[in-house]
Structure 1
Amino acid sequence: MQVTTIPTRPIPGQKPGTSGLRKKVRVFQEPHFLENFVQAIFDCAPELAGGTLVLGGDGRWFNERAIQTILKMAAGNGVGRVVVGRNGLLSTPAASNLIRELKAAGGIILSASHNPGGPEGDFGVKFNIANGGPAPEKVTEAIHARTQGITEYRRAEVPDLDLATLGETRLGELTVEVVDPVEAYARLMQRLFDFDAIRDLFRSGFRMRFDAMSAVTGPYAKRILEDMLGAPEGTVVNATPLPDFGGHHPDPNLVHCAALVALMNGPDAPDLGAASDGDGDRNLIHGPGLFVAPSDSLALLAANAHLAPGYAGGLKGVARSMPTSAAVDRVAAKLGIPCFETPTGWKFFGNLLDAGMATLCGEESAGTGSDHVREKDGLWAVLLWLNVLAKRRQSVPEIVRRHWAEFGRNYYSRHDYEALDAGIAQALVRDLRAKLPALPGRRLGEETVTLADDFAYRDPVDGSFSEHQGIRIGFRSGARVVFRLSGTGTEGATLRVYLERYEPVRIDEDTQAFLAPLVALAEEVAEIKKRTGRTGPDVIT
């Protein structure tokens, strides 16, 4: 086997964001762009030399081509073994599980998660470390630094591998094993959940619609929901992963799951509607006539997790990202367990999970998970909901409203202003940050500001410090508004505005109407319309 060293030079724009490096497909297709970043990973992760690497992605455009390139580079960089999903497919949580199960040195996951696919869409590369979770900031910073000084990359000159056939192939000293992408993940789900109770639920006439959004979760949902749990054929729709996601925007929210939402609000709604995103780590939960917001879903799952065998012993703690509503905090208080508030990004949960300080984690952006892997997990969340429904034998709306009656309701919404001019968005946040010292004690509308800061986090496990994680403005009433620039987009900037108000008694109000005064306060203090020219958000969730 011949290994070639290819000269290169640094390429700007290779700084990983919240979930790896994301760019347009056409950018990754430019000469040396993918190779430079992957070589930087190998250079910054010496444990991969002679070790095991897990490799796969969500099947989006450029997925298979990128995998062939990475396999040849793995051979050229002395990796001992690569385990890759058949046809290059691995959901993000399944990849995390394989890393952990195989005690691999790490994994490379190819995905831009919920971003659009296709030749004009997005692509991404993320490195996960040996615990199965996203690389921490110190690692991604080292990778970025390496991309700025790279001069060469190494590649084995070998033919493309057959990724459709299970089994092993040798590339010099490298062993490549193609595995069933679903098998190990399905075994894990069987250990966590009461499959017999869920089968009985489906036998009782329970109806469900799962929209895989033509993304990677389709094969997982078909195997587990229909083949193993006995849900009727056709329960899973859009089940075949497609390079362009069938034209879908694979983000499981009320806008991009319009057909599912219409069904669930219609006269013949099934008992549960669910969806997952491009790489399988996000989820949508919808009951007949009632959407369960991700923040509420996290709280409800924390309150009911003991009904599943994998969590029957109770939770060690829970964690949520700072912009996520405080609904789960109230559950944690009742259970007598700690609740941690972290920056956005699943990597911040990893230390808490590894240290045994938390069991369930969640983010308002439709991501929920537990200590079974080190990623959020869309299908896992759906299966836990099914386990709860099978044990409680109540409808989704009944379970949700009983929860609100006990704990009160955190009315919550996120308003996204997408594809803003990056300079304008950054100036908006910069100027808002400058206003913070003068805000406490000031009246805004009917509210009085009691907190105004830029969230910073000291990791309780390793002591690492992260700052500028989102601007928080809190009011005497307990309401709050959070402003944050997203790190998951590939074009321009996305401004996210999070709005929350707790109400202990009036639990059946319309969310947007109830939060309208907060929306007005957010506009007043940040001058969003004046600065961006937008008359309103692009997406409301």
Structure 2
Amino acid sequence: MTRIAFGTSGWRGILCEDFTFDNVKVVVQAIADHLKENGQAGNGVIVGSDTRFMGRRFTEEAARVLAGAGIKACLCDRDVPTPVISFEILRRQANGGINFTASHNPPEYNGIKFSPSWGGPALPETTKDIEQRANRLLGTVCWQEPTLEEAERQGLLERIDPRSAYLADLERKIDFDALQGIGTLALNPLYGTSRGYLEPPLQRRGVPYRIINDHLDPYFGGQPPEPSEAHIPDFITLVRNDPAIRLGLATDGDADRFGILDADGTYIEPNYIIALLLDYLIRVRKLSGGVARSVATSHFVDAVAKKHGVPVFETPVGFKYIGELICQDKIVIGGEESAGLTIKGHVPEKDGILACFLVAEMVAREGKTVRELLERLYGEVGRFVTRRDNLRLSPELEAAYAGKVAAVPREVAGAAVTDVITVDGVKLLLADGSWLLFRKSGTEPVVRLYGEASGEARLNDVMAAGRQFILG
């Protein structure tokens, strides 16, 4: 029997194999039991999904299970972005949110992400409790499920449209009026939930735009719904071939991640976007506070923070840790190299829609391309080049991995190791400012190797040394 296991972003599985209606009901019942035992069932739970197969059916089954447990379900009327669920939790002071999404994973996957009442991704102690409850329930049927009509009559189901409230709040956080002179924007929701969210603020101001992949397709056009360079060739071609387009803005399947193309179609790494926006928010918007980044995210962010004299909070991978710092009002911006960010005063969750429009605002107000802004910032704080590789391990290498990283080398690619960071994985800081990070996957025999240096040649040497250390 399948065992329920929550990862950094909830429980995910392959449809019809482990992600089944029976297992979904078990997980939702476990969430209901968790909420009731902790006295957090009174204000209801937001229930939504992305655009994957059977998403609507899964949300309806979840609403029935919640109603059977005496918990009100606020059921979203269509597929909904992950950050909008977070926003609606906070706006309604709900007890949490259940989101059926596998984010940027391929179309055969689906998942359940639970967000508690503070609006961010659930912390490990919460997901561990839900996981344990779910695994005890596997194979049992011990709850009653009313029909949706019965739940509605009992006041345990409310159908909601959270879009207008979220967009109204976004209008207060983005200077959309500045975009009126930017030129044409290209939009790519990747067949996902940002359809109908990216367009309205532009339509209201007459900002010209071109949009592709804005219809429902659970296959996501044959690519994972991830706005990385490898998965958006059609979007890159569109921007590259249309001289009127000033900027390309893309989101992933559940709209919590972003992808940015410059005016010439060049893909801009998320690491660089986070650093640029930190500088912009402090220098132009005059916001105050520190910055949070995951352990795998570029130290370009640190250099910008040093320039402005603000603290850096290094977190494990997983946006829940950055979300906590947003709730504590300690940071101006928090971001991860995997294209997730949020800002001061916004939801404690990744928001790709917000990220896209922040970049558009920055480009419009600064009057420069993204590359021009990058070159200017490089001139002020230095150049940073980052990379990530996946190293697949043989059974022998996997067995030896823990012992290997417990005895790290004193030198990497000719530079002394000056510090070892173990907040998540093993990160080696080198004397010349370069660094390497080894993170073992929790689900497959793969080590994720991250590296950074001041130039491509040096980064090649550092990454080669990292590969040799793990595989040699």
The TM-score with structure 1 as length reference comes to 0.81
Candidates 261, 266, 270, aligned match of 1:286? 261
Distance 2:40 2:269 in 1: 40
1:373 aligned residue: 347
1:2-49 CA-partner distances (Å, limit 9, x unpaired): xxxxxxxxx542120000000001135546211111111111112453
Inter-partner Cα distance in structure 2 for 1:231 and 1:322: 38
Q: Structure 2 residue aligned with 1:25, among 15, 19, 27?
A: 15
Secondary structure of 1:219's counterpart equals coil
Distance 1:452 1:337, change over 3 A: closer
Q: Secondary structure at the match of 1:374?
A: coil
Matching residue's letter, 1:416: N
Q: Which of residues 358, 366, 371 in structure 2 aligns to 1:384?
A: 358
CA distance in 1, matches of 2:14, 2:71: 28
* Residue 173 of structure 1: how far off its partner (Å): 3.6
> How many residues of Structure 1 are paired with residues of Structure 2 in the alignment?
466
1:84 matched to 2:75: yes
State the distance in 2 between where 1:496 and 1:432 align.
12
> Would the aligned equivalents of 1:288 and 1:397 in 2 still touch at CA under 8 Å?
no
> What's the secondary structure of 1:210's corresponding residue?
strand
Which residue number corresponds to residue 188 of structure 1? 169
Measure the CA separation in 1 of the matches of 2:176 and 2:230.
32
In structure 1, the partner of 2:380 is 406
Report the 3-state secondary structure (helix = DSSP H, G, I; strand = E; otherwise coil) of the residue aligned with 2:64: helix
Tell me how far apart the structure 1 counterparts of residues 184 and 55 of structure 2 sit (CA, whole Å).
34
Which residue in the other structure is 1:305 paired with? 281
Task: State how far apart, in whole Å, the 1-side matches of 2:18 and 2:406 are.
Answer: 42
- Counterpart for residue 292 of structure 2: 319
CA distance in 1, matches of 2:237, 2:397: 36
Contact 2:439 2:448 in 1 (8 A): yes
1:497 corresponds in structure 2 to: 449
- Asked whether the 8 Å contact 1:207–1:272 carries over to 2, the reply is yes
For residue 176 of structure 1, what is the amino acid of its counterpart?
Answer: E
2: distance between equivalents of 1:191 and 1:294?
A: 24
> For residues 95 and 403 of structure 1, do their structure 2 counterparts lie closer, same or farther at Cα, with a shift above 3 Å needed?
same
CA contact (8 A) 1:92 1:279 kept: yes
Distance 1:178 1:473, change over 3 A: same
What are the superposed Cα offsets for residues 495-517 of structure 1, whole Å, 9 maximum, x if unpaired? Answer: 321110136xxxxxxx4x55211
- Structure-2 change in CA distance of 1:190 and 1:159 (3 Å): closer
Give percent identity, aligned residues only. 30
**8 Å CA contact 1:110, 1:125 repeated in 2:** yes
Per-residue displacement from partner, 1:206-226 (whole Å, max 9, x unpaired)? Answer: 12212111111122112233x
Offset of 1:436 from its aligned partner? Answer: 3.7
Provide the C-alpha distance between the structure 1 equivalents of 2:364 and 2:243, rounded to a whole number of angstroms.
21
Give the 5 Å matches for 1:65-84. Answer: 65-80=57-72, 82-84=73-75
Q: 1:299 to 1:125 in 2, by over 3 A?
A: same
- Secondary structure of 1:328's counterpart equals helix
Q: TM-score, normalised by structure 2?
A: 0.92
1:211 pairs with 2:188: yes
Counterpart code for 1:517: D
Shift of 1:430: 5.8
* Superposition map of 1:221-300 within 5 A: 221-225=198-202, 227-232=203-208, 235-265=210-240, 268=243, 270-289=245-264, 290-300=266-276
Aligned pair in 2 of structure 1 residues 154, 307: CA closer, same or farther (>3 Å)? farther
1 CA distance for matches of 2:225 and 2:122?
Answer: 24
| Counterpart residue number, 1:441 | 410
Shift of residue 229, structure 1, vs aligned partner: 3.9
The more displaced of 427-436 and 44-53 is: 427-436
- 1:399-478 superposed matches below 5 A: 399-417=373-391, 424=395, 428=397, 431-442=400-411, 444-452=412-420, 455-456=422-423, 469-478=424-433
Is contact 2:388–2:450 with CA below 8 Å preserved after alignment? Answer: yes
Shift of 1:349: 1.3
Query: What is the aligned counterpart of 2:113 among 126, 141, 150?
Result: 126
1:432 and 1:28, CA in 2 relative to 1: closer, same or farther beyond 3 A?
Answer: closer
Q: Confirm or deny: 8 A CA contact 2:29 2:66 kept in the other structure.
A: no
Helix, strand or coil for the counterpart of 1:474?
Answer: strand
Distance 1:303 1:501 in 2: 20
Give structure 2 stretches of 5+ with no counterpart: none
Moved more, 290-299 or 377-386: 290-299
5 Å-filtered alignment, 1:31-110, equals 32-46=22-36, 47-80=39-72, 82-87=73-78, 89-110=79-100
Give the drift of 1:160.
7.1
Are the equivalent residues in 1 in contact too, given 2:67–2:145 (CA < 8 A)? yes
Tell me which amino acid in the other structure corresponds to 1:382: C
Q: 1:429 to 1:380 in 2, by over 3 A?
A: farther
Per-residue CA distance 1:68-100 (angstroms, 9 max, x = gap): 1011111101113x222223x110011101111
Q: Distance in 2 between matches of 1:413 and 1:437?
A: 23
Cα pair distance change 1:499/1:285, threshold 3 Å: same
> In 2, distance between residues paired with 1:211 and 1:191?
23
Which residue of 143, 156, 160 corresponds with 1:154? 143
Does 35-44 or 470-479 show the bigger shift?
Answer: 470-479
SS of corresponding position for 2:196: helix
How far did 1:306 drift? 4.7
The reply on whether 1:174 has 2:156 as its aligned counterpart is yes
* Aligned match of 2:369: 395
- The reply to whether residue 519 of structure 1 matches residue 471 of structure 2 is no
Q: CA deviation at 1:439?
A: 3.2
Q: CA deviation at 1:325?
A: 0.8
Contact 2:278 2:332 in 1 (8 A): no
**1:465 — aligned with what?**
none
Contact 2:120 2:349 (8 Å CA) reproduced: yes
Deviations, residues 275-300 of structure 1 (Å, cap 9, x unaligned): 11010010111213443211111010
For 1:64 and 1:12, locate their aligned partners in 2 and report how far apart those are by CA, in whole Å.
Answer: 23
Instruction: Name the aligned partner's letter for residue 497 of structure 1.
Output: L
* 1:144 alignment counterpart: 131
